[in-house]
Chains A and B, each alone.
Chain A
Amino acid sequence: MSPQQIQTVGMVATLAVWVVFMLQVTPIMVWIERRGAAMMQDRPGPNRVGPLGLFQSLADALKFMFKESIVPEGADKPLFLMAPLLALIPALTTYTVIPLGPAIQVAGQRIGLTVVPADTGVLLLLALSSLGIYSLIIAGYSSNSKYSLFGALRASAQMISYELALTLAVVAVLLPVGSLRLDEVVTYQQTRHLWNCVPQALGLFVFIIASFAETNRAPFDLPEAESELVAGYHTEYGGMKFALFFMGEYMAMAALSALAATLYFGGWTVPGVDLFKVGDWIATLPLLGKVPGPIWTGLIAALVLFTKVFIALLFFVWVRWSFPRYRFDQLLRLGWKVLLPLSIVNLLLIAVLTLKGVL
């Protein structure tokens, strides 16, 4: 196979791993969310469908598929049907710049484990995730319902407000690294043997709060809170369309968690462990030795990253069931008057430290 073909195969394999992961996040999260919520509220949670309720997601998926597709009267039909699809665009494109693992040597070629190794790395991710606002607005507008419209306006205003603080927190991480590429951020943390969560603690604080608001998760879930606006922008959606919104929300959470893991928690690296040695060791085992060592390294690195993503997702669930909801004006005040100045202060701090040569 020519070098070009090997590179293409590497890229497709990385893409396949990411797609499979992203598509599986929703079912796994549904179970974690419901059992986790139940555990925190001292009740059993779903436990009928399969052992420990593990097939609940499957039952839910079947239910969604068999529901009737209703378009409300007076709704703008093309836009109404397009909005759930728009929700999937950021979900299915943002992970392409996050590195799954180190650059591995396969068949004499050096394959980087990023689907799109662009120079503009993180900027591409932020650009694609900012497209997620459209699904909210179009869903709210086209539903011909006052709850939907208000929910959509509030949700999109919230997303825009916190996007700024998020971006500034990310920029503060990129400043010492000197590059927008995420694999260089990971290499930076690896060579210094110090994850970014230590020097950039303030940035991490801002990033966590901003990502809760970005994904409309509690305590910032007023736009979709049941007690407030029925269900906000997806009030009129049922069946598979609602399932798509649901999936889009969980996939956005997973993408932001993956970004947080890469920026602040070392991505695919494990402190003190050389993944290449682990991969080579696995290749010496009898049955697993059929697959060459570097591929095992890539798989293990991906596994490490996904573990970190799931820990972050568990944190999302934990916070949801622990805090009361913010009122909308409090939410906007927090975003503009607290988080934005904090992120600017963080950026200034990091800039000074980088100039002094400390970072």
Chain B
Amino acid sequence: MIVPATWYMLLAAGLFVIGTIGALTRRNGISIFLSIELMLNAVNLLLIAYSRQLGDLTGQVIVFFVLAVAAAEAAVGLALFIAIFRHGHTIDVNRMNLMRW
């Protein structure tokens, strides 16, 4: 039997929710970043599932761009973390509160 594309979409939704929970509950900046990458992957899976469902290759092209953007975002984000760490010697997001009231 061919696995219906709907199942892939449900799996993507599950991964997205897991990633969201991770991004909201973790204290470590790098761990939040990992959860964000998980969310991006879930969205990629959803796009490919739709591309399969609708028979249109546009979904794959969009995933191609999402991959590139994720790479750029990871590079810049991690460089930011390095800079923040140098300044405050911590990655804990609860302690990065210089701009709070």
Q: Do chains A and B touch in the complex (CB under 8 A)?
A: no
